[in-house]
Every structure is written in C-alpha cells, then in structure tokens.
C-alpha cells in the first residue's frame, strides 16, 4: 500500500528529525524541507541509517514561495504538513526581532498560502509552553490564559497560533490544524544516530550539561537558586524527544481522520516538574558522570516554574509519555559520546 506523504519543514532539525523517523516507522512517507540554517546534513544520514531507506529532502527556505510551490508540485499528493522550521533562540530573538518575525511568521504565511493553493488540508504546528508566560497556577492546562510574550521568539509562537486559528475559521477554509505546545524536549534517539546539534555554545540546559560532562565546557552555571521553588532553582517539564515526536504522528493521524475540531491545542509534556538541581542529580545518577556546576545569577526572562497538565492529550489523543527523565538524560549522554568520537 502507498504510504501517505507528509511534508516536514525543519525535518533535519532536532525535533523534526525524530518526528521523521517516527512518521516513517508508523507507515507514513515523510518528505523533508530544510534550509540547513540551524541543522546539519549529517542528520539526514542519521535518519536514513535508522530507517534503512532514502528520505526525500528539499534544501529550500520555506519562506521562499516559489521554491515551496515547486516542492508541492514535485511531490504531489501531500496529505499534511508538520511545520517545525523556525528560529528558536530566545536571547537571539531579543537582539534580532525582525529576523525572528520575518522567518517564523513569514514562513508560516508562505506555507499556509501554498497549502491552500495545492489543497493540502492538514497542519501540525510546533508551538511552545512559552505562550503561557509566568503562569498564575500550576500545572498549566490548555485553558490557562496565554500571557504577553517575554521575547520576540515567544511572540512569534503566539502570533503563529493566532494566524492558524484565523485561517482555519475563514469561510470555505480547507485547512485544519493542531497546535502542539511543547514543554522542554531533551534526549536523543536510542540509536544515537540523531540528536540535538547546537551551534556554538549551547543555550539550553541539557546540551550544556552533556558538553560539560564531556569536558567541552568547564562547568555548568545554574541560573539562580533563590526562586520560589522547593530547592530555589527553576522547574520545567522535560520530555524525551522521541515521546514528543510520537505526539506528532498521533496528531497527523487525527487530522487525517477528521475526528477533532478544525483547530485544537494540546500540551505535550510529561506532567511532571523537575528543578535544574534535580536534573543535574538525575544526570549524575543515570550516567555515573560527576557534573561540575556552580550557582550563578538568574537569567533574564526565565519563568520560575512551569509544567504541563497532560489530561487533554491523554484523553483526546491517547498520548502518554513512556520515557523517564533518567532514560532521556542517558540517551542525551549516549548521543554526546557519539559526537565526541
């Protein structure tokens, strides 16, 4: 039987590459679009090594309308799109807001336009728990009010959610959408053939932890220990990237089945909050590596604590995570050791 084709923008990136693997393993035919501005060719090789097959990959910027039209025309019969392609560095977005709005909002507008032109009906969008800002109560449900974004990056996610919501509700719209609000994805594929490839000094916690354990960085700085949390460090909901990738397969299938509303929002997390110190200790436990760390100043814009209420994803998508924090951290360490070779 012919596989159903799903376009994956940003499919060479960290979450995208894991989603491509899970899509293929679930019987879909993923087609990658990536401009490799924040990803490497090696991730395509990793994907193909895991799947033992070739995966079509178009090296284009998905904000380039002509190039995107050419991909839709060449591929034909696309049944859906997962839109990962976006800039994602919070600090950089404060320095370069125009680049963030141009790239993140611009590429979504282009993508929706071309999807409508070609009658491609289904869109899964990579959103973020950043839309909740500093929440008034925990855990956050999908009904928790969104807050003004504290970075241009976060604002692009809110704006893109609003754009998709308006587009699907327009009279005669042929597009349906699922907005997935990710918590903190970590870890790597168990094969260690794909994983996170940060450019330069990692801004996110786990790649900094693994690079420190590998001796690439001297020490981890924990950004503040005087927050109003049990041990004073920030609390996040860390989800194994393979679990997160699987949520996309379920979302795609739900859109194809047409069982949900025209647009739906889901939190994708574990439902559990862990502090930075708990993550450090879990890493040490899971890997046997002692981590050199110091407590430093708080990072501007950090949310003290956030984790997901996962009831809606469980009840309506049937989605549940299966990996523990320790398993996710062990997979991140296995990946780091592969990189060092």
- The catalytic residues are 153
Q: How far is CA 81 from the centre of its chain?
A: 15
Which of 18, 58, 83, 236 lies at the binding interface for ligand UD1 (CB under 6 A)?
236
The reply on whether position 319 binds ligand UD1 by CB under 6 A is no
The reply on whether position 184 binds ligand UD1 by CB under 6 A is yes
Which of 26, 70, 94, 303 lies at the binding interface for ligand UD1 (CB under 6 A)?
303
Q: What angle do CA 36, 178, 257 make, to 5 degrees?
A: 110
The reply on whether position 281 binds ligand UD1 by CB under 6 A is no
Q: What are phi and psi of 318, to 5 degrees?
A: 70, 25
The reply on whether position 205 binds ligand UD1 by CB under 6 A is yes
Nearer to ligand UD1 by Cβ, of 302 and 316: the residue is: 302
Residue 79: CB minimum distance to ligand UD1, A: 28
Size of residue set near ligand UD1 by CB under 6 A: 21
Cβ atoms of residues 9 and 71 within 8 Å: no
How many whole angstroms separate alpha carbon 321 and alpha carbon 336? Answer: 23
Peptide bond between residue 337 and the one before it cis (omega within 30 degrees of 0): no
Site string for ligand UD1, 35-74 (x = CB under 6 A): ----------------------------------------
Residue 265, helix vs strand vs coil:
strand
The reply on whether position 284 binds ligand UD1 by CB under 6 A is no
Cβ atoms of residues 126 and 86 within 8 Å: yes
Which of 116, 191, 204, 253 lies at the binding interface for ligand UD1 (CB under 6 A)?
204
How many whole angstroms separate alpha carbon 204 and alpha carbon 210? Answer: 11
Give the length of the chain.
341
Which of 84, 208, 266, 307 lies at the binding interface for ligand UD1 (CB under 6 A)?
208
Which of 18, 83, 88, 334 lies at the binding interface for ligand UD1 (CB under 6 A)?
88
């Amino acid at each position: 039987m012919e596989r159903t084709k799903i376009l994956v923008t940003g499919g060479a990136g960290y979450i995208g590459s894991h989603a491509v693997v899970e899509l293929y393993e679930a019987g879909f035919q993923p087609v990658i679009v990536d401009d490799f501005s924040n990803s490497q060719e090696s991730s395509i090789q990793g994907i193909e090594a895991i799947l033992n097959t070739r995966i079509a990959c178009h090296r284009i910027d998905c904000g380039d309308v002509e190039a995107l039209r050419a991909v839709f025309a060449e591929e034909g019969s696309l049944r859906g799109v997962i839109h990962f392609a976006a800039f994602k560095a919070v600090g950089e977005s404060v320095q370069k807001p125009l680049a963030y709005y141009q790239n993140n909002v611009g590429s979504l507008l282009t993508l929706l336009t071309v999807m409508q032109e070609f009658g491609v009906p289904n869109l899964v969008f990579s959103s973020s728990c950043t839309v909740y800002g500093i929440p008034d109560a925990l855990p956050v449900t999908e009904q928790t009010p969104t807050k003004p974004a504290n970075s241009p990056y976060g604002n692009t996610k809110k704006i893109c959610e609003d754009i998709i919501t308006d587009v699907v509700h327009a009279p005669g719209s042929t597009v349906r959408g699922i907005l997935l609000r990710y918590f903190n994805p970590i870890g790597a594929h168990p094969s260690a053939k794909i994983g996170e490839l940060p450019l330069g000094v990692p801004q996110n916690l786990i790649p900094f932890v693994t690079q420190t354990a590998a001796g690439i960085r001297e020490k981890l700085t924990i950004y503040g220990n005087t927050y109003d949390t049990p041990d004073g460090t920030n609390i996040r909901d860390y989800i194994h990237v393979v679990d997160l990738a699987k949520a996309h397969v379920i979302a795609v299938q739900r859109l194809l089945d047409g069982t949900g509303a025209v647009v739906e929002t889901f939190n994708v997390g574990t439902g559990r909050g862990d502090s930075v110190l708990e993550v450090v200790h879990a890493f040490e436990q899971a890997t046997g590596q002692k981590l050199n760390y110091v407590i430093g100043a708080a990072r501007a814009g950090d949310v003290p604590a956030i984790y997901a209420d996962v009831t809606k994803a469980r009840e309506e998508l049937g989605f549940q995570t299966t990996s523990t924090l320790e398993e996710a951290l062990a997979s991140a360490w296995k990946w780091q050791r592969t990189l060092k070779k």
